[in-house]
């Protein structure tokens, strides 16, 4: 009786393997572009039809192939990149497995034309569904042309999962952008039908390529950064905290010239922006990491999109630290309102005047809905005792009430400080500004050993549930670092004897329970420092000037003096903007004066 297990046919094996490498037209295009780059091409032309579902054509001026190499190129695991097992430890090429062309030949109608410069003629090879149908000599320009027609024509189950032509084209364009950023020294062009979608000429430098690919409007909000740790190096460009996206799609990370979609690297890039971005918003980052090839394993994913590092923590520290350092060393004062570039809008396109008024109004209303209105409340002690320079308010301004941000006009709804600065109107969210100042002070104290605590005149008692009691037992040392001192008082009660300086003693009990809850979830967070900063942001919120609170001019000046001495003073620790500027021309447009 025959057994149930049998060896698959080579045809079926090829189709299964093709599914690992070629998922959709975009992945086919990516493999062909990488082959062209590995061949030393200086110019690559791409043509798509029907989003790449019916045709993908890539032509280059690379080194080309001989007849023998062309025949072998569609044989699985035939490659020019590897010869010995040790070669896997020092891979510099983009491709190395010898799977891409074989996979495409198995699931499409494939045509290839290639010629070396030293040859008088080239060769044409055609395959259909994995079967070679023709090999002939042909006149051709130096380089290689590959046509992939009717992708998945022989695997209906795969073909039916392809999306619309527009969706497939969007994914293909995304890969063109990644490859263009990866290879600034190569001309890349993409056409769909008769439309030219991308034409990136050879760039003089990396910045020029970024400007062409991402657009001049975006490029104006990007800034260079770099860092080094021994033989590990990183460089690239990072966006203003105002230049945000609703997804991480525009976080581009390259390792040794290879685009990777790695969670550790993406987290590192975002960690550099910690406390500068609102929840659910992502920056624009183009980062290029260079490290010894033996320190990176690129042989962990069929499409080579994921990598493993010998020293992942070191790579994370280098990238996140370099981004944070560049942000800290830049004058991140917003010159306009915060905005989100939407896919449906042209990058940087000026909105209509009515839309601008509406967005400003909505932003103000959002702030007001979050504000706690305690009119006439005195300035908290946290502002008076923010440290030697911060505690003392500046001398009252001369008549005319001039400040660092221009002439102080007053407060809007006792929440937004209003200044006239030349041809601009400046609005400052007093709570957001003081929150950032307080947060940076608390973080400095925590890094130096612990947040300054204030003794409570009368101890406070809380009766947490069993989970929070366990959290206290596990994290008592960290609570001390955050400025809280507490001890068990019986089996089910905790007695709080000290709280972070600046926290209203009447609110200390509720804040303590909040912090206990966050510490209970600490096991799900990436690192203590990141979790601690989130808790400190919450403490800063409780210890800061509130919306609806009246400030005197000397108190306003004290805030502005602290602003000068504070890193990232244009954003609150939750990522919201502290200030916005409206030009005179913008205001005049509202009244149809322009």
- CATH (domain of 526): 3.30.1370.100
**Mapping DSSP to helix (H, G, I), strand (E, B) and coil, where does residue 491 land?**
coil
Predicted local distance difference test score (pLDDT) of residue 349? 38
At residue 90's C-alpha, the angle toward residues 86 and 91, to 5°, is 110
Predicted local distance difference test score (pLDDT) of residue 3? 64
Element (H, E) at 212: helix 206-214
Round to whole Å and give the CA distance between 239 and 355: 24
Do 415 and 469 lie in a common domain?
Answer: no
Predicted local distance difference test score (pLDDT) of residue 239? 93
Per the structure, the count of domains in the chain is: 4
CB distance 566 to 440 below 8 Å = yes
Model confidence pLDDT, tens digit, residues 125-179: 999 988 887 899 999 999 999 999 999 999 888 898 899 999 999 999 999 999 9
Residue with tokens 């004066």: 593
Predicted local distance difference test score (pLDDT) of residue 465? 84
Do 346 and 297 lie in a common domain?
Answer: no
Round to whole Å and give the CA distance between 23 and 490: 62
Could you tell me the CATH number of the domain that includes residue 182? 3.30.565.10
Do 251 and 131 lie in a common domain?
Answer: no
Predicted local distance difference test score (pLDDT) of residue 232? 96
Model confidence pLDDT, tens digit, residues 76-122: 765 655 445 554 455 555 654 457 898 899 999 999 999 999 999 99
In a domain, 1, yes or no: no
Predicted local distance difference test score (pLDDT) of residue 394? 32
564 secondary structure, DSSP code = H
Count, residues in the chain: 594
In a domain, 216, yes or no: no
Predicted local distance difference test score (pLDDT) of residue 337? 40
Strands laid side by side in the 222-229 sheet: 222-229, 232-239, 285-290, 251-255, 258-259
460 φ/ψ angles, rounded to the nearest 5 degrees: -105, 145
Do 321 and 357 lie in a common domain?
Answer: no
CB distance 493 to 463 below 8 Å = yes
Give the residue from 332, 364, 388 where a domain finishes: 332
Do 563 and 473 lie in a common domain?
Answer: no
Do 104 and 172 lie in a common domain?
Answer: yes
Strands laid side by side in the 339-340 sheet: 282-283, 243-245, 339-340
**What does the buried/exposed string (b/e) look like for 432-448 if buried means 16 or more CB atoms within 10 Å of the residue's CB?**
bbbbbbbbbbbbebbee
Note the pTM of the prediction, 2 decimals.
Answer: 0.68
Could you tell me the CATH number of the domain that includes residue 567? 3.30.1540.20
In a domain, 176, yes or no: yes
**Angstrom distances, CA of residue 580 to CA of 206, 234, 428:** 31, 32, 7
Do 306 and 169 lie in a common domain?
Answer: no
**Residue 138 lies in domain:** 10-201
DSSP for 485-497, written as a single string: EEEE-SSS-EEEE
In a domain, 316, yes or no: yes
Do 135 and 197 lie in a common domain?
Answer: yes
Look at residues 369, 360, 366, 367 and name the one whose alpha carbon lies nearest to residue 339.
Answer: 360
In a domain, 213, yes or no: no
In a domain, 385, yes or no: yes
Do 131 and 60 lie in a common domain?
Answer: yes
Do 185 and 229 lie in a common domain?
Answer: no
Could you tell me the CATH number of the domain that includes residue 326? 3.30.230.10
Do 159 and 297 lie in a common domain?
Answer: no
Give the residue from 276, 311, 332 where a domain finishes: 332
Give the residue from 294, 310, 332 where a domain finishes: 332
Predicted local distance difference test score (pLDDT) of residue 84? 56
Low-confidence spans in the chain with pLDDT less than 70:
1-21, 77-98, 299-304, 330-403, 523-526
Do 431 and 469 lie in a common domain?
Answer: no
């Amino acid at each position: 009786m025959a057994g149930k297990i049998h060896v698959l046919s080579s045809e079926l094996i090829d189709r299964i393997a093709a599914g690992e490498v070629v998922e959709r037209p975009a992945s086919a295009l990516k493999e062909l572009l990488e082959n062209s780059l590995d061949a030393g091409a200086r110019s690559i032309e791409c043509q798509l039809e029907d989003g790449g579902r019916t045709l993908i054509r890539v032509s280059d001026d690379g080194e080309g192939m001989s007849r023998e190499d062309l025949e072998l190129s569609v044989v699985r695991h035939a490659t020019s990149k590897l010869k010995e097992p040790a070669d896997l430890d020092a891979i510099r090429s983009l491709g190395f497995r010898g799977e891409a062309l074989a996979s495409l030949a198995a699931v499409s109608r494939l045509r290839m034309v290639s010629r070396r410069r030293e040859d008088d003629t080239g060769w044409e090879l055609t395959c259909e569904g994995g079967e070679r149908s023709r090999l002939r000599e042909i006149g051709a320009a130096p380089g290689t042309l590959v046509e992939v027609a009717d992708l998945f024509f022989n695997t209906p189950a795969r073909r039916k999962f392809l999306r619309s032509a527009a969706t497939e084209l969007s994914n293909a364009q995304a890969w063109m952008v990644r490859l263009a950023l990866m290879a600034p020294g190569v001309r890349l062009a993409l056409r769909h039908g008769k439309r030219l979608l991308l034409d990136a000429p050879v760039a003089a430098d990396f910045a020029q390529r970024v400007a062409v690919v991402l657009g001049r409007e975006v490029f104006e909000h990007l800034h260079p950064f770099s860092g080094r740790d021994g033989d590990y190096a990183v460089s690239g460009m990072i966006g203003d905290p105002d230049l945000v996206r609703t997804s991480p799609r525009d976080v581009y990370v390259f390792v040794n010239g290879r685009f990777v979609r790695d969670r550790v690297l993406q987290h590192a890039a975002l960690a550099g922006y910690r406390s500068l971005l609102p929840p659910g918003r992502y920056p624009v980052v183009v980062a290029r990491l260079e490290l010894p090839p033996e320190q990176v394993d690129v042989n962990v994913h069929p499409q080579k999109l994921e990598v493993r590092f010998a020293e992942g923590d070191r790579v994370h520290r280098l990238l996140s630290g370099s981004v944070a350092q560049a942000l800290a060393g830049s004058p991140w004062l917003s010159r306009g309102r915060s905005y989100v570039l939407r896919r449906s809008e042209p990058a940087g396109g000026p909105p209509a005047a009515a839309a601008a008024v509406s967005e400003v109004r909505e932003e103000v209303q959002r702030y007001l809905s979050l504000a706690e209105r305690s009119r006439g409340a005195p300035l908290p002690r946290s502002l008076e005792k923010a440290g030697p320079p911060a505690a003392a308010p500046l001398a009252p301004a001369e008549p005319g009430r001039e400040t660092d941000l221009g002439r102080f006009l007053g407060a809007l709804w006792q929440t937004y400080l209003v200044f006239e600065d030349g041809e601009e109107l400046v609005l400052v969210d007093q709570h957001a500004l003081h929150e950032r100042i307080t947060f940076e002070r608390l973080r400095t104290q925590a890094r130096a050993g612990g947040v300054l605590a204030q003794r409570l005149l009368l101890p406070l008692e809380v009766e947490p549930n069993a989970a929070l009691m366990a959290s206290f037992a596990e994290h008592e040392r960290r609570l001390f670092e955050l400025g809280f001192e507490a001890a068990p008082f019986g089996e089910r009660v905790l007695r709080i004897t000290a709280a972070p300086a600046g926290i209203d003693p009447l609110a200390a009990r509720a804040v303590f329970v909040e912090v206990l809850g966050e510490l209970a979830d600490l096991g799900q967070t990436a690192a203590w420092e990141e979790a601690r900063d989130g808790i400190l942001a919450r403490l800063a919120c409780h210890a800061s000037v509130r919306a609806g609170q009246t400030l005197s001019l000397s108190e306003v000046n004290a805030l502005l003096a602290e602003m000068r001495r504070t890193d990232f003073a244009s954003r609150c620790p939750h990522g919201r903007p502290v200030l916005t500027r409206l030009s005179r021309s913008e205001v005049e447009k509202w009244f149809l004066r322009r």
